Amino acid sequence: MSLDAVLTRIDQDLPEATDRLLDLLRIRSISTDPAYQADCVAAAEWLVRDLTDLGFDAGVRPTTGHPMVVARSKGPGRHVLFYGHYDVQPVDPLNLWNRDPFDPAIEDTAKGKVIRGRGASDDKGQLMTFVEACRAWKAVHGSLPGNLTIFFEGEEESGSPSLIPFLIENKEELSAEVALICDTGLFESTSPAIVTMLRGLLGEEVVIKGPNKDLHSGMYGGAAMNPIRVLSRIIAALHDDTGRITVPDFYDGVTELPDAIRAQWQNLAFDHARFLGDVGLSQPAGEQDRTPLEMIWSRPTCEVNGIWGGYTGDGFKTVLPSEAHAKISFRLVGTQDPHKIRDSFRAFVRAMLPPDCEVEFHDHGASPASQMEISDPAFEIARKALTEEWARAASYVGCGGSIPIAGYFKSILGMDSMLLGFGKDDDQIHSPNEKYDLESFHKGIRSWARILSALED
């Protein structure tokens, strides 16, 4: 019955909770622009005041960049760390906004009420779902739930330059049994989900060098090796006819999906035709023996992100270029080693070089995949709680992109993360007219209350 009382309190307090979120959204905490440094400090201080009023031992922690917020409440049960970020993306182009991005408001839309403003979904609205769940719990029980640490970052949208040093320096204080990260969304905007797989990322820039200057194609064409021709042949050789990547030993560490997870994904009834149709495509282009969901969540990729060389201006210039460039990224899964793959890729390229050509490489980062250990009972507890709140079966899902904080929590603090959020695909994060559905905010608060109650039992 105590959970029912907390849920009732959340329902009754929704207008006040929304007002608090609107107040936080008015703070222009754009982390990437030094002009907003004071605003980032103001957002951190706002959160510390709010958490302190709730009974947390909270403080602003300075870094070489924007401050962190750390709050602690000791209690019974497992030690849980909750993470979010209070910084937001720039608002440009401002003329595409329908209202001042830092004058947030509740708007009626054809799909229901939304909270409109920069940071509404990414990530102020999401982090406040957890804070408001704690507030309702405190109002009903007179104390905060469980054994909690809250950690809010102020540089997530600008590359987190202070994060790793801060985690290392405060490892003992921040280490918990499991981390909760509220920076994701609902599957296809309808079904609750817990992200348990995050792909890693390896970036390589390749420069093929041939003649010592651009050459006249009438004088040298046919006799001189063209670096674009060489690069094109290398790129074409990276995949076979079935979409499989041909770099030697590339698939070392790629694991197969557990049957239970595969069944959950099949039940999601992912409409890949609509997914591709929305961007003007029709046929999945990855490994042909894999489903589209596997392709984007649990399989590695090799993609060319940019290619250039020779004359690319207006008109026509008949030259053989002296250099050809490409930027190539690899999304990684399982226990693939990005550094071994880099070495193997570079050897693959060098082996395909003809005489008179050489290659130069520039690395653009390397991070492994993150895969959570869902045998931890907390994962199933959270999945059942989400299912109860949303009246739809919650699933363990993958994420095609990379969320570095989860990897850092694993490698530095030694704990797995549950990534669960309530954003929708049309929230327009990082874009003009960002919004967060009022339903997402409301049911997000209720979801955390259910999870906190289940974890405490």
Spatial separation of the C-alpha atoms in residues 86 and 402, rounded to whole Å: 19
How high is the pLDDT of residue 402?
A: 76
pLDDT in tens, 386-432: 999 999 999 999 998 878 899 899 999 999 999 999 999 999 999 99
Spatial separation of the C-alpha atoms in residues 422 and 403, rounded to whole Å: 16
What mean pLDDT value characterizes the chain?
A: 96
pLDDT in tens, 257-316: 999 999 999 999 899 999 999 899 999 999 999 999 999 999 999 999 999 999 999 999
Burial label for 139, CB within 10 Å (0-12, 13-18, 19+), is: middle
Average pLDDT value for residue range 5-29: 98
Residue 106, pLDDT above cutoff 80 = yes
Domains of the chain: 2-198+369-456 (3.40.630.10), 200-254+300-367 (3.30.70.360)
How high is the pLDDT of residue 77?
A: 87
Q: Quote the percentage of the chain above a pLDDT of 90.
A: 94
H helices present in 157-288, as ranges: 163-169, 171-174, 217-220, 227-236, 259-267, 272-277
Split at pLDDT 50, 70, 90, the class of 456 is confident
pLDDT in tens, 324-380: 999 999 999 999 999 999 999 999 999 999 999 999 999 998 989 988 989 999 999
CA distances from 365 to 77, 175, 289, 299, 333 (A): 39, 26, 30, 20, 16
Query: Is 430 in a helix, a strand, or coil?
Result: coil
Type and span of the H or E element at 150: strand 147-153
Spatial separation of the C-alpha atoms in residues 121 and 391, rounded to whole Å: 22
Q: Phi first, then psi: what are they for 113, rounded to 5°? A: -75, 140
Residue 1, pLDDT above cutoff 80 = no
